[in-house]
Amino acid sequence: MNWDDLRIFLAVARAGRLEPAGLAAGVDSSTVSRRVARLEAELGVTLFEHGRSGHQLTSAGVQLMAHAEQAERAAHAARESLTGSEGRLRVSVSEGFGTFVVARRLCEFHARHPGIAVELVASAGFLSPSRREADLAVMLARPTHGPLIARRLTDYGLGLYAARSYLTANGAPAEVAALSAHPLIGYVPDLIYAEELRYLSEIAPGLEAQLCSSSIGAQAAMLGAGAGIGVLPHFIARQMPGLAPVLPAEVDIRRTFWLVVHRDARQLARVDAFIRWLVDLAGTEPLLRALAAEPDHAKQSERE
């Protein structure tokens, strides 16, 4: 049974006449008449009685209308589930960006789109949109293969930081070569999930962390507690007033966040809604407007 014929049958059943049914279905009245006749021939029943008052459903037509409306509801539900503005959305982001930026503003997205349930996966490592593990991801590198659409979301900067209390007690290193005399905080080397996170070797060959964690949140906590010196994104450090920059003129690390989505998922209304919100967030969130710049308290520290 052709769904398009059922769609036109429903239009006639609801309108009662061919011309308004044709207008509703987007075809002319002769096409409506042919489609209804084809459906009647296929089913071997008469669906309408024709009179001066228009097209009235027969008992067979009433039965078919119930089934057709059920099929219509199922089609609408499927369309809403796949492309509608409601449903569940899984977003994979790096732990730092997800925790210190997205999570603190996610209530605003929910207020705009209460019908979208967001699963924010903010962890060490990324779920893959290519393997349909996530609907979209914010990644540290642009994917080079797979059925994916990627766009630059924003650039950001990182630098060395330590607690002010640590620097008061131990002194600040005067040059990069002096960093090896201090306990360094960083990632567990064999658990680094992206090459973009190998900050210490970028600062100077041979630099190794003595206090390690796979979590940037744990690293930030160690730095805040005065355990040593380590690399943090500026957008995290500027939320921790107890930290001070270390060697800001010598160490200036730049990275990029990439917004990645599967080609088939890009058309989904809920995915599009979140992408629009995230792009707007990257352009308006105070913590992100100057991601590649030093935080305000760092500049203040330099003046002091």
Highest mean pLDDT among 142-156, 230-244, 251-265 belongs to 230-244
Which run of H or of E encompasses 236? helix 234-237
Among residues 250, 233, 230, 209, the alpha carbon closest in space to that of 292 is found at: 233
Among residues 90, 103, 96, 14, the alpha carbon closest in space to that of 281 is found at: 103
Average pLDDT over residues 99-103: 94
Over pLDDT 90: what percentage of the chain? 66
Alpha-carbon distance of 76 to 247, in angstroms, equals 59
Mean pLDDT of the chain: 87
Domains 89-154+259-286 and 155-255+293-303 are alike in CATH topology: yes
The model's pLDDT over 8-50, given as tens digits with 9 standing for 90+, comes to 999 999 999 998 888 888 889 899 999 999 999 999 999 999 8
Q: Which CATH class is domain 3-83?
A: mainly alpha
Domain 155-255+293-303 has CATH 3.40.190.10: yes
- pLDDT band for position 298 (50/70/90)? very low
Whether the per-residue pLDDT at 293 is higher than 90: the answer is no
Looking at domain 89-154+259-286, its CATH architecture is 3-Layer(aba) Sandwich (3.40)
Q: Residue ranges of the domains in the chain?
A: 3-83, 89-154+259-286, 155-255+293-303
Alpha-carbon distance of 31 to 66, in angstroms, equals 23
CA distances in angstroms from 75 to 14, 70, 202, 216, 270, listed in the order given? 18, 9, 54, 45, 18
The model's pLDDT over 254-277, given as tens digits with 9 standing for 90+, comes to 999 999 998 888 888 899 999 999
Average pLDDT over residues 80-97: 80
pLDDT score recorded for residue 51: 84
Cα first-last separation, the chain: 80
Alpha-carbon distance of 276 to 108, in angstroms, equals 13
The model's pLDDT over 108-143, given as tens digits with 9 standing for 90+, comes to 999 999 999 999 999 766 777 867 788 999 999 998
* Close Cβ partners of 7 (under 8 Å, ≥ 6 residues apart): 25, 72
Q: Is the pTM of this model over 0.85?
A: no
